[in-house]
Amino acid sequence: MHVLFIIDPLPQLKAYKDSSVAMMRALVARGHTLSVAQQGDLFIEGGTVSARSQPIELLAQADLHEAGWWRESGPATDMPLETFGAVLMRKDPPFDMEYVYSTHLLEYAQAQGAKVFNGGAAIRNHPEKLAITEVAGMTAPTLVSRDMARIKAFHAEHGDVIVKPLDGMGGTGIFRLQHNDPNRNAILETLTDNGTRTIMAQRYIPEIIKGDKRVLIIGGEPVPFVLARIPLAGETRGNLAAGGRGVAQPLSPRERELALAVAARTAGRGLLLIGLDVIGDYITEINVTSPTCFVEITEQTGYDVADRFAQALESAVA
């Protein structure tokens, strides 16, 4: 099978810990071939969705901490997306208008026969913070608004809340507002751009000290291990990009319950891979753009998450 990755520029990836690279390596180990394209390489001409794609091969003995882990294996060509065995959308956020346009192109390509994961409409229709609305009974008290008076009332009701932008990633723009926080107004004015930008507020979950758990769902089934991203001392964010420490742990009964509920709710929507963020007993985000943590779980447990994904992809396109 020829698999196209729509991805950020390869030289920018930290190959030794990148989940997309782990996917590539697992697919190659199973006999598949690879091409890559960037978001800007997608185009429609004559009604057909295509991409300027570059075939690559992975170097078997390469040091993944160094740049030379791949090489071009032929000339770049324009190919309709439907001619690939599978197309994997692995472009990282920001989820800006260019990203939205890409999801439309991917959706059109699927109508032409392309097999895209996660699907264009699926990505667009499941904004990663707002998607928890579908499972509100499994989330901490949450408010989505740009009305500062409403947000302040929510803060007054719960006393200790997390506020964050809807389009952030890696822990950027996340603040904890405790009771009588002297910076509350300034933080809310900044996050909402003086009431013109919608944000999310959630009741603070003290179990964050035990980790912000990444629970992976592949092909509708949860991976049996999670990555607990434990914050640094004095920090409220567990994100690895914010300095959190990743510790792999067995999937708990509650985490499995949450994962199966989300899998059942989203079945048939074109979401081959989902990454839940779980703190304590609550889902805080449902990630569908480019969920990560494959490598950390595999290295610490021996459970090959990327191979599990490759097998699920083979089944999905069969």
Please write down the HEC assignment for all residues of 127-192. Answer: CCCHHHHHHHHHCCCEEEECCHHHHHHHHHHHCCEEEEECCCCCCCCCEEECCCCCCHHHHHHHHC
**CA–CA dist 228, 209 (Å, integer):** 10
Same domain for 104 and 17, yes or no, is: yes
Catalytic residue, chosen from 90, 124, 214, 308, is 214
pLDDT of residue 149: 96
Active site residue 129: yes
Does 9 map to a domain? yes
Give the range of the structural domain holding residue 220, as residue numbers without chain letter.
210-304
287 included as an active-site residue: yes
Whether the predicted model's global pTM rises above the 0.85 cut: yes
Q: Of the candidates 124, 156, 180, which is a domain's last residue?
A: 124
**What pLDDT is stored for residue 240 in this prediction?**
66
Is there a domain that residue 317 lies in? no
Region of 195 on the Ramachandran plot (φ > 0 left; ψ -120 to 50 alpha; else beta) = left
Are 227 and 213 spatial neighbours (Cβ–Cβ below 8 Å)? yes
The whole-number pLDDT of residue 244 equals 76
Q: Which of 17, 124, 129, 308 is catalytic?
A: 129
Q: Is 237 a catalytic residue?
A: yes
pLDDT of residue 168: 77
**Phi-psi map region of 157: left, alpha, beta (phi>0 left; psi -120 to 50 alpha):** alpha
Q: From the candidates 287, 296, 307, 308, which is the catalytic residue?
A: 287
Tell whether 26 is covered by a domain: yes
Tell me, yes or no, whether 102 lies in a domain. Answer: yes
Contacts of 60 (CB under 8 A, 6+ apart): none
Quick one: 232 and 287 in the same domain? yes
For residues 112 and 166, what is the distance between their CA atoms, to the nearest angstrom? 32
Give, for all 318 residues of the chain, the pLDDT tens digit: 999 999 999 999 999 999 999 999 999 999 999 999 999 999 999 999 999 999 999 998 899 999 999 999 999 999 999 999 999 999 998 788 999 999 999 999 999 999 999 999 999 999 989 999 999 999 999 999 999 999 999 999 999 999 999 987 777 889 999 999 999 999 999 999 999 999 999 999 999 999 999 999 999 999 999 999 998 766 666 666 656 789 999 999 999 999 999 999 999 999 999 999 999 999 999 999 999 999 999 999 999 999 999 999 999 999
Active-site residue, from 212, 237, 296, 308: 237
DSSP 8-state class, residue 39? G
223 and 153, same domain (yes or no): no
Choosing from 18, 107, 167, 285, which is the catalytic residue? 285
Nearest to 120 by CA among 203, 49, 194: 49
Q: What is the pLDDT of residue 167?
A: 84
Residue 277 annotated to the active site: yes
The span from the CA of 187 to the CA of 287, in Å, is: 25
Q: Assess whether 285 carries a catalytic annotation.
A: yes
Same domain, 150 and 112: no
Given the residues 229, 255, 296, 308, select the one marked as catalytic.
229
Is residue 136, in this structure, part of any structural domain at all?
Answer: no
pLDDT score at 238: 62
Catalytic residue (one of 91, 124, 164, 308): 164
Is position 310 within any domain?
no
Query: In the prediction, which pLDDT does 151 show?
Result: 97
Residues linked to residue 276 through DSSP beta bridges, in sequence order? 215, 286
Q: Which of 18, 167, 255, 277 is catalytic?
A: 277
The number of folded domains in the chain is 3
**Residues 193 and 214 occupy one common structural domain:** no
